[in-house]
A = this chain, B = another copy of it.
Amino acid sequence: MTDTSHVQTELDTIVEALEEGKRKKLRKLLRGMHPGKIASLLEALDVERRVVVWQHLREEDEAAVVRYLDPLVAAALQRDADDPDLAELDEEAAAAITDIRHVRESLEEGRYKRIVKLFKQMHPAKAAGLLESLPPDERSTVWEMLSSERAGKILVHLHEEVRASLAQEMDQDDLFAAVRKLDLDDLVDLIQALPAGPGREVMLSMDVATRQQVVSMLSYPEDSAGGLMNIDHLSVRADVRVGSVLRYLRLLEDLPDHTDKVMVVDRKNRYQGVLRLSRILTSDPEAKVEEVMDAEFQPLPVQMPSREVARRFEDLDMLSAAVVDEQGILLGRITVDDVLDIIREESRSTMMHMAGLDDEADMFAPVLKSTLRRSVWLGINLVTAFLAAWVIGQFQGTLEQIVALAVLMPIVASMGGIAGSQTLTLVIRGLALGQVEGGNARVLLGKEMGIGLLNGLLWAVVVAVLAYVWFGSWQIGGIIGAAILLNLLCAAFSGLAVPLVLRKFGIDPALAGSVILTTVTDVVGFFAFLGLATLLLL
């Protein structure tokens, strides 16, 4: 009696939540309730509402609830919930569905089970990408519905900012559950991405052994070999026979992902070389490991920066490599899949930096947050813009007399800006590839100045003619031509010099390069044009 009444009250709150469409509240209520209670509640509801409530039930709880449900009701609900067109989706097929609209529509229709199923069948990386392309509120709606295991897998693939925010949305138990499923290197990444508070919580939730490993790995900078490595590698002694390695592997039943080689060590666990699986397969079981191992294969020092690691993987076409400390002790291994991410981010972040953007930031970060981030860049640009304006200001007298100059002056500046940015981009890429340095800078300068000269002459003539046609004055034509030539030469020079100098001072050329460059080309452009005009026309 009390029980039913109790259900009654909860029923009311649920119904209330339904009426007001408070889905979040509804899910909260359901999560708190005992499966049996949820079951009786479902039965108490009319079919339509029943389905809605069912849609909000987390998949982990489903089974439990069904156990208490009237079989007919349960059957009906499950029939409704599962999607014919999704039922037989395998991972690949799901990975192909990236139609964001499709997801958002299903969300609006409240067909949560459909979404969850989709995300469940998608590869974590794909799911992460899809999550990132959802607006925050919808993002967290989906997030709440995912099983903690899924959540853990997906967390790893999210960009830092999104990752941190979603991890904080989870209630601790779920977060801990999710974390327990992670590889050590992913776990470390996650903890580094989390704010201090939750990070500590997660640490404390782990068993001592794991925590110690994590702590030791946290001691390496995130963007170093140590930060990238995992410790799931297999190692064998150099003096054993291939046959016994084969038996050892067979005992393991399943090898760690991306195992293409086992590490060979001495009895002090010092790195000796690697033994490729293909060699194990093809060589005589009686042979000693040291006879068939690849001793030339160099390990990566634990403090090697990740950019360098990535380049090494690219250059040597490696699938995995050992990581060792200063004493040559084997610490772990890095696999190519971790490197893929670095390579992808590396050049993409260069592009973002050139626009003053942070590529770890959430595309849908709160407006205010993004505004402040970007305003910095606009502020810096404003200073340079006022500098250019100040230069113009020096020639107000001239402008008053010949207003045509005011009309034409932006042309000089913008041509310089474009030409400069071409050189700048070329050099920034060259620096990233290690193909531009003191050694060949002079040659490159010669070439760029040559291009600047030829393009300068070409466009000087074109603009001069156009200016004459427009304002009927050969003088103005000549002056703007000369100004453009000057500006393109200076653009070529600074397009090369600016990034090299910034690099010298340890500043990322991609970040500051373009602002400084446009400042130079604006100032020089306006000064040359208006200066020449003042000299020659007044």
Which residues in chain A, 112-170, are within 8 Å of chain B measured between CB atoms? 123, 125-126, 129, 132-135
B410, A374: Cβ atoms closer than 8 Å: no
A352, B95: Cβ atoms closer than 8 Å: no
The distance in angstroms between the C-alpha atoms of A340 and B414, with both chains bound, is 37
Residue from B319, B364, B413 in contact with A410 in the complex, judged by beta carbons closer than 8 Å: B413
Q: Which residues of B contact A443 (CB under 8 A)?
A: 135, 364
- Beyond A314-B340, A343-B340, A439-B104, whether A352 also contacts B410 by CB under 8 A is no
Q: Does A459 contact B (CB under 8 A)?
A: yes
Q: Which residues of B contact A363 (CB under 8 A)?
A: 426, 430, 435-436, 444
Max count, chain B CB within 10 A of own CB: residue among A95, A437, A438, A440: A440
A385, B415: Cβ atoms closer than 8 Å: yes
Q: Which residues of B contact A439 (CB under 8 A)?
A: 99-104, 133
Residue from B132, B283, B347, B440 in contact with A348 in the complex, judged by beta carbons closer than 8 Å: B347
Distance from A238 Cβ to chain B, minimum over Cβ atoms (Å): 19
Residue from B134, B319, B389 in contact with A258 in the complex, judged by beta carbons closer than 8 Å: B319
Which residues in chain A, 327-376, are within 8 Å of chain B measured between CB atoms? 336-337, 339-341, 343-344, 347-348, 350-352, 354-357, 359, 363-364, 367-368, 370-371, 374-375
Q: Which residues of B contact A347 (CB under 8 A)?
A: 344, 347-348, 351
Proximity bits, A412-442, B CB within 8 Å = 1, else 0: 0111001101101110111011111111100
A451, B351: Cβ atoms closer than 8 Å: no
- Beyond A343-B343, A374-B451, A425-B351, whether A385 also contacts B357 by CB under 8 A is no
A522, B410: Cβ atoms closer than 8 Å: yes
The distance in angstroms between the C-alpha atoms of A246 and B281, with both chains bound, is 7
Distance from A197 Cβ to chain B, minimum over Cβ atoms (Å): 28
A454, B368: Cβ atoms closer than 8 Å: yes
Q: Does A392 contact B (CB under 8 A)?
A: yes
B104, A440: Cβ atoms closer than 8 Å: yes
Count this chain's copies in the assembly. 2
- Beyond A104-B440, A389-B411, A426-B363, whether A317 also contacts B129 by CB under 8 A is no
A281, B260: Cβ atoms closer than 8 Å: no
A133, B435: Cβ atoms closer than 8 Å: yes
Q: Does A20 contact B (CB under 8 A)?
A: no
A316, B410: Cβ atoms closer than 8 Å: no
B375, A422: Cβ atoms closer than 8 Å: no
Q: Which residues of B contact A386 (CB under 8 A)?
A: 411, 466
A255, B280: Cβ atoms closer than 8 Å: no
Interface size of A by Cβ–Cβ distance < 8 Å?
131
A425, B354: Cβ atoms closer than 8 Å: yes
Q: Which residues of B contact A257 (CB under 8 A)?
A: 317
Q: Which residues of B contact A100 (CB under 8 A)?
A: 435, 437-440
Q: Does A382 contact B (CB under 8 A)?
A: yes
Q: Tell me which of A10-18, A59-67, A400-408, A501-509 binds B.
A: A400-408
The distance in angstroms between the C-alpha atoms of A278 and B234, with both chains bound, is 12
Distance from A39 Cβ to chain B, minimum over Cβ atoms (Å): 35
Q: Does A313 contact B (CB under 8 A)?
A: yes
B455, A281: Cβ atoms closer than 8 Å: no
18 A-B contacts (beta carbon < 8 Å): A90-B298, A91-B296, A125-B314, A125-B316, A277-B281, A351-B425, A352-B426, A355-B426, A359-B429, A367-B454, A371-B450, A374-B455, A375-B459, A382-B411, A385-B411, A385-B414, A396-B406, A406-B409
Tell me the A residues contacting B by CB distance below 8 Å: 90-92, 95, 98-104, 123, 125-126, 129, 132-135, 246, 249-250, 252-255, 257-260, 277-278, 280-283, 296, 298, 312-317, 319, 336-337, 339-341, 343-344, 347-348, 350-352, 354-357, 359, 363-364, 367-368, 370-371, 374-375, 377-379, 381-382, 384-386, 388-389, 392-393, 396, 399-400, 403-404, 406-411, 413-415, 418-419, 421-422, 424-426, 428-430, 432-440, 443-444, 447, 450-451, 454-455, 458-459, 462-463, 466, 470, 518, 522, 526
- Going nearest first, the 9 A-B pairs with the smallest beta carbon separation are A100-B439, A101-B439, A406-B406, A355-B425, A133-B435, A367-B450, A255-B278, A317-B337, A92-B298
Extra inter-chain contacts (4) besides given A255-B281, A363-B426, A385-B415, CB under 8 Å: A101-B437, A258-B260, A363-B444, A396-B403
